Structure 1
């Protein structure tokens, strides 16, 4: 029978430091106390907001699935249910809610063959305008903070129309290297801009607020 982990209570009059040691409160600098208080408050707020966003997404997906199901029952057909892209607009056209699906893509080892072929192309081509392609390729094969290739940047290379057999083999290598590992589902909320037919997203992430 495994032991149950019970959080250790910090005795009154003490604070635990980053090394796990108990330090008497009167021995902790006021600036350290103030910093700790600020961090603890912000983290508590962030955890609450995270829980509310998680609940919002769950409720939104459930409501959208119910709406799709009701629509299907009206015509006696079984529709996509929980999956599939759906656009919902309020009666006055002011708001729009979008449910969208996106595949999670990774690249297999074949991406290295594509990179080698592309570099060979650039080395073979004359200088000049192709310097721009070199920059594009370097950006496409740069990795993010997690060490993964940036999917959108790599796929952008496949949109280039270049009449070169080696380049075409490179694009085929990219295509063959694409592997779908699952899918992600998103709920996005939009508000119409004035009386136009354009909509702007209502930000649900800190960076966009």
Structure 2
């Protein structure tokens, strides 16, 4: 078997044993290719083809991201040398725009947040409040609390719902102490940069995002 045939066979998930074609099943067993249903082979070929394109696209997006950040960094360094100051607002957010005002690149820095043990104290205080208040007096608060402390699929606290609790104004000492405990529990563990791209057809037209998210394309 020549190298080209071996490469093609590997890409198709085929293994040759004594000159016969085999494929591994999901349990790791070698199954003669002749014994595999045509629809199973067709599904296998389709998935392998899609995954090959997906891997190529993922690598291309990675290269695009790296080149984009390198270009922005080079431009920032050029401005810093020219004016002796760094680019960006208080949190490092930056906006770059074409001369005609029709294209825009935005760099946004988002804090990565974790919560300390004070959060459990806050939950206990909030539970005390909810248990004492009548069941039907503040159902909307009960709903927010339930969503805030229910973990998502990754086991993370629902941050947006938790921050909604902080915006509620309730005249109860335990509630206010609970909110203080939530604020004390917030810990910034790092930050992550997001790059977003926008275009518009005219100066008075609305901005339209250039979508790179497969789910929103």
Aligned partners of 2:134 and 2:120: how far apart in 1?
23
Q: TM-score, normalised by structure 1?
A: 0.86
Pick one of 76, 86, 103 that aligns with 1:79: 86
What is the aligned length?
201
> Residue in 2 aligned with 1:38?
46
Aligned residue for 1:96, secondary structure, equals: strand
Pick one of 172, 178, 187 that aligns with 2:186: 178
Aligned residue for 1:55, secondary structure, equals: helix
Aligned partners of 1:128 and 1:99: how far apart in 2?
45
Cα-to-partner distance string for 1:13-52 (whole Å, 9 max, x where unaligned): 1111111111111011111111111111111111111111
Contact 1:106–1:151 (CA under 8 A) maintained in structure 2: no
Map 1:116-135 → 2, pairs under 5 A: 116-128=124-136, 130-135=138-143
Unaligned runs of 5+ in 1: 1-6
Contact 1:193–1:200 (CA under 8 A) maintained in structure 2: no
Shift of 1:131: 0.6
Greater gyration radius:
2
> Residue in 2 aligned with 1:192?
200
Aligned residue for 2:167, secondary structure, equals: coil
Pick one of 5, 19, 23 that aligns with 2:27: 19
Aligned partners of 2:178 and 2:201: how far apart in 1?
43
2:158 aligned with 1:150: yes
Aligned partners of 2:215 and 2:106: how far apart in 1?
20
Aligned partners of 1:174 and 1:117: how far apart in 2?
11
Shift of 1:171: 0.9
> Residue in 2 aligned with 1:109?
117
> Residue in 1 aligned with 2:55?
47
2:18 aligned with 1:10: no
Unaligned runs of 5+ in 2: 1-9
Change (3 A) 1:120 1:194: farther
